[in-house]
């Protein structure tokens, strides 16, 4: 497969070493079956010029199913990410010699490296490889003055970097622009070093590559990033074997407006300077790694399509293992598969907040049952637990539904700014990995019960993620993750004062972030500070120490609680026929029956009545009613 072999230090050219690395990637990172599918996908569609087989932008976009601007020409904001994806792939195909060889022609060897890097498989082939692709992804998007890839048939095989205006493909920011202050001249590209070290070719790398300073001295244009974000928001639920048309067909103006609005909320996570002049490496690396860790996961599923060929018919024995041309054409003309199952399960209400676009945004940072996978790439579903639209604003109903939910939950709310004429919706929420409790003495996080940390987040009009504090000192009994009291309302990440017999005490913000909802569920106060490590939540990645704290007071429209079900079809009880949802429904029905029993017991009749006192004592012992002398509250 390779064009040459690695020899002694400095004896091989970057082109030869790049080819040898692609061969190693192919043998180490793909199974034989995957490699067979990959070869069929590539060579059955490859163009040829002068004996060189390659893909251009149209072939790549057609295979992946990425719509171009004409696909959604009726829309004010087309989903035109094909040039951005091609630009990224052309950069990654030159790995680890992006400084010399990028952008590369998409030959077979180049596409092998692209798929390995974007599907996160390189750890099997590199001695010091790790899962941090941020440098490579930034370089693939940065507006660096690059040469145009080799041209075939007299036509360019790429659309060059987009500028900040419209569909212009002018070169981006010049390398003569001021350099980023945070650039470290001694910083090495660990992934590239690992690649060359595995080939015993470090000297070639040091002589020819080093870290490409021009990448760190330039920026990603907002237009480029927005076009990629819009694609990622649309295809976030994509599974490796699913057709992209399931998500890209039927994108009407309303859906595209929602997608663009959500993309702009994510862009707002970057500083005003970066939104004006382009995203710097430091801002990109910090925001993506800490605030949007799963943002590029859809690309993994997208490029895993390369490892499955519709041409191969493994159900029949053929000499070459390929289906006939007529079979291939019939498969190409197949109706697209049915839309995938929704993230939410049917229940007592339908969400007034969640929609496919917001679900995609959540998947960019919200884990499932493991921190290694996001909520959309797992079997986790959201079960409706409580909604003010369906159940009203009574904390009694809130208590009945929420305190009996026995797994992680998602709180999400929408409202408008209080005392403001603006009608812009604000969407925020919290992920609570443990059940809500009935006593603050058992609140707080425990590493023995979950590996996941809570988070507090703002989705719009600006993305902000306040991660959970892993420090044990932050999980004090009087600082629960989530707290409920019929007297003071709902508190997330707050300090709970000791009860007083003389006056009502209220939760107060603690640490870097908190959320307070009043007892009538009519108003909410969101607080986020760029400092504070003594609470449940840490400062957001996109805040600076000199920034003023963010304080938002909302008039609430809707509050929803969604229970996270790891696998709705599984069972985890003595009765294997019961699913988690059925178990939960049984608990709610039991609570309803017990509530009816309480109505039939006159617990206030005759203080000296032994029968009444005995009945009350039994209800208190069972936890069905509380001792009035105790402070009513709960945390999780």
pLDDT in tens, 510-556: 989 999 999 999 999 999 999 988 899 999 988 888 888 999 999 99
Reported as a pLDDT band with limits 50, 70 and 90, residue 583 is low
Do 283 and 275 meet the contact criterion of CB atoms below 8 Å apart? Answer: no
Q: What angle do CA 212, 216, 219 make, to 5 degrees?
A: 125
Reported as a pLDDT band with limits 50, 70 and 90, residue 387 is very high
Assess whether pLDDT exceeds 80 at residue 608: no
Reported as a pLDDT band with limits 50, 70 and 90, residue 596 is low
pLDDT digits (tens, 9 = 90+) for 66-96: 987 654 444 456 788 999 999 999 999 998 8
H or E segment and range at residue 596: helix 580-599
Assess whether pLDDT exceeds 50 at residue 446: no
Q: What SS3 state is found at 590?
A: helix
pLDDT number for residue 45: 96
Q: How far is CA 240 from CA 133, 160, 244, 305, in A?
A: 20, 29, 10, 6
DSSP 126-178: -TT--S--HHHHHHHHS----PPPPPBTTB-SS-----SSTT-----S-TTSP
Reported as a pLDDT band with limits 50, 70 and 90, residue 206 is low
What is the reported pTM? 0.80
Q: Quick one: tokens of 322? A: 């390929």
pLDDT number for residue 40: 96
* CA-closest candidate to residue 293, choices 137, 501, 484, 525: 137
Residue 494's φ and ψ, nearest 5 degrees, are -115, 160
Assess whether pLDDT exceeds 90 at residue 352: yes
Could you tell me which residue, 582 or 269, shows the higher pLDDT? 269
How many whole angstroms from its chain centre is CA 157? 32
- Mean pLDDT on 442-452: 49
Percent residues over pLDDT 90 in the chain: 42
Provide the pairing of β-strand 381-387 with 47-49. Answer: unpaired
pLDDT number for residue 102: 81
- Mention every residue, 6+ apart, whose C-beta is less than 8 A from residue 142: 172, 215, 218, 219, 220, 281
pLDDT number for residue 545: 80
Do 34 and 84 meet the contact criterion of CB atoms below 8 Å apart? Answer: no
pLDDT number for residue 501: 84
pLDDT digits (tens, 9 = 90+) for 127-149: 666 656 788 899 899 985 444 44
- Mean pLDDT on 613-620: 55
Reported as a pLDDT band with limits 50, 70 and 90, residue 436 is confident
Q: Quick one: tokens of 484? A: 């409920």
* Residue 442: burial class (beta carbons within 10 Å; 0-12, 13-18, 19+): middle
pLDDT digits (tens, 9 = 90+) for 238-264: 988 888 888 888 788 899 999 999 999
Assess whether pLDDT exceeds 80 at residue 114: yes
> Tokens 């989705």 — which residue?
459
Could you tell me which residue, 141 or 580, shows the higher pLDDT? 141
User: From CA 364, how far away is CA 295, in angstroms rounded?
Assistant: 5
pLDDT number for residue 84: 95
User: From CA 285, how far away is CA 538, in angstroms rounded?
Assistant: 18
pLDDT digits (tens, 9 = 90+) for 279-311: 999 899 999 999 999 999 999 999 999 999 988
User: From CA 400, how far away is CA 592, in angstroms rounded?
Assistant: 8
H or E segment and range at residue 91: helix 82-92
User: From CA 219, how far away is CA 275, in angstroms rounded?
Assistant: 11
pLDDT number for residue 451: 73
Assess whether pLDDT exceeds 90 at residue 336: no
Do 141 and 87 meet the contact criterion of CB atoms below 8 Å apart? Answer: yes
* CA-closest candidate to residue 513, choices 446, 407, 429, 442: 429
Q: Say whether the peptide bond before residue 342 is cis (omega within 30 degrees of 0).
A: no
Assess whether pLDDT exceeds 70 at residue 402: yes
The helices-and-strands tally (H runs, E runs) of the chain is 22, 15
**Rg over CA atoms, the chain:** 28
H or E segment and range at residue 459: strand 455-460
User: From CA 417, how far away is CA 423, in angstroms rounded?
Assistant: 8
Contacts of 270-275 with CB under 8 Å at 24 or more apart are: 270/542, 271/542, 271/544, 274/219, 275/222
- Assign residue 566 a region (left: φ > 0; alpha: ψ between -120 and 50; beta: otherwise): alpha
Question: Which of 323-327, 426-430, 624-628 tops mean pLDDT?
Answer: 426-430
Q: Quick one: tokens of 170? A: 């002018």
Residue 320: other Cβ atoms inside 10 A: 7
Do 568 and 346 meet the contact criterion of CB atoms below 8 Å apart? Answer: no
Reported as a pLDDT band with limits 50, 70 and 90, residue 214 is low
Calculated CA dihedral for residues 297, 300, 303, 308, nearest 10 degrees? -130
Assess whether pLDDT exceeds 90 at residue 327: no
Pick from 39-53, 132-146, 465-479: least confident: 132-146
pLDDT number for residue 421: 80
- Mean pLDDT on 3-24: 68
* Residue 476: burial class (beta carbons within 10 Å; 0-12, 13-18, 19+): middle
Assess whether pLDDT exceeds 90 at residue 415: yes
H or E segment and range at residue 466: strand 464-467
pLDDT number for residue 439: 47
- Mention every residue, 6+ apart, whose C-beta is less than 8 A from residue 24: 125, 198, 199
Q: What angle do CA 324, 326, 327 make, to 5 degrees?
A: 65
């Amino acid at each position: 497969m390779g064009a040459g072999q690695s020899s002694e230090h400095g004896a091989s050219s970057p082109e030869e070493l790049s080819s040898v690395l692609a061969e190693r990637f192919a043998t180490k990172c793909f199974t034989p079956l995957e490699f067979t599918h990959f070869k069929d996908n590539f060579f059955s569609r490859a163009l040829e010029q002068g004996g060189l087989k390659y893909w251009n932008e149209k072939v790549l976009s057609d295979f992946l199913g990425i719509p171009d601007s004409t696909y959604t020409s009726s829309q004010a904001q087309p989903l035109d990410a094909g040039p951005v994806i091609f630009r990224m792939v052309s950069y990654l195909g030159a790995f680890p010699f992006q400084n010399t060889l990028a952008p590369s022609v998409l030959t077979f060897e180049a596409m092998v490296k692209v798929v390995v890097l974007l599907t996160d498989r390189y750890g099997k082939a590199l001695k010091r490889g790790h899962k941090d692709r941020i440098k490579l992804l930034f370089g693939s998007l940065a507006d660096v003055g690059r040469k145009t890839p080799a041209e075939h048939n007299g036509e360019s095989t790429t659309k060059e970097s987009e500028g900040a205006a419209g569909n212009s493909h002018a070169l981006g920011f010049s390398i003569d622009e001021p350099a980023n202050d945070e650039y470290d001249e001694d910083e090495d590209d660990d992934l590239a070093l690992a690649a060359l070290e595995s080939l015993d070719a470090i000297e070639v790398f040091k002589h020819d590559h080093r870290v490409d300073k021009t990448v760190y001295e330039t920026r990603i244009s907002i237009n480029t990033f927005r076009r990629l974000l819009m694609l990622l928001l649309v295809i976030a639920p994509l599974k490796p074997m699913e057709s992209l048309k399931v998500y890209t067909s039927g994108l009407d103006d309303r859906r595209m407006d929602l997608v663009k609005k959500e993309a702009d909320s994510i862009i707002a996570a970057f500083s005003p300077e970066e939104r004006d002049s382009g995203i710097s490496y430091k801002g990109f690396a910090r925001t993506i790694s800490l605030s949007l860790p799963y943002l590029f996961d859809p690309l993994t599923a997208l490029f895993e399509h390369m490892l499955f060929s519709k041409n191969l018919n493994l159900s029949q024995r053929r000499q070459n293992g390929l289906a006939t041309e007529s079979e291939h054409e019939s498969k190409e003309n197949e109706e697209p598969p049915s839309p995938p199952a929704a993230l939410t399960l049917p229940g007592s209400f339908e969400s007034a907040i969640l929609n496919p676009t917001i679900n995609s945004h959540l998947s960019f940072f919200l884990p499932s049952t493991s921190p290694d996978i996001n909520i959309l790439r797992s079997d986790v579903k959201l079960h409706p637990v409580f909604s003010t639209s369906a159940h009203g604003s009574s904390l009694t109903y809130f208590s009945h539904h929420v305190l009996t939910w026995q797994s992680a939950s998602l709180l999400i709310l929408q409202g408008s700014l209080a005392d403001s004429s603006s009608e812009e919706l604000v969407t925020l929420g919290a992920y609570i990995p443990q059940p809500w409790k009935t006593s603050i003495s058992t609140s707080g996080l425990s590493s023995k019960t979950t590996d996941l940390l809570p988070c507090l987040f703002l989705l719009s009009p600006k993305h902000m993620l306040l991660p959970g504090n892993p420090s044990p000192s932050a999980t004090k009994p009087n600082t629960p993750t989530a707290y409920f009291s019929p007297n003071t309302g709902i508190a997330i990440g707050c300090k709970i004062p000791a009860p007083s017999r003389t006056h009502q005490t209220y939760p107060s913000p603690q640490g870097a972030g908190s959320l307070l909802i009043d007892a009538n569920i009519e108003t909410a106060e969101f607080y986020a500070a760029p400092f504070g490590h003594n609470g449940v939540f840490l400062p957001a990645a996109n805040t600076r120490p000199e920034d003023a704290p963010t304080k938002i007071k909302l008039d609430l429209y809707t509050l929803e609680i969604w229970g996270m079900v790891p696998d709705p079809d599984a069972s985890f009880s003595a009765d294997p026929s019961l699913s988690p949802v059925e178990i939960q429904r049984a608990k709610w029905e039991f609570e309803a029956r017990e509530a009816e029993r309480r109505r039939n017991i006159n617990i206030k009749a005759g203080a000296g009545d032994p029968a009444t006192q005995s009945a009350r004592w039994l209800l208190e012992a069972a936890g069905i009613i509380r001792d009035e002398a105790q402070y009513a509250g709960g945390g999780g």
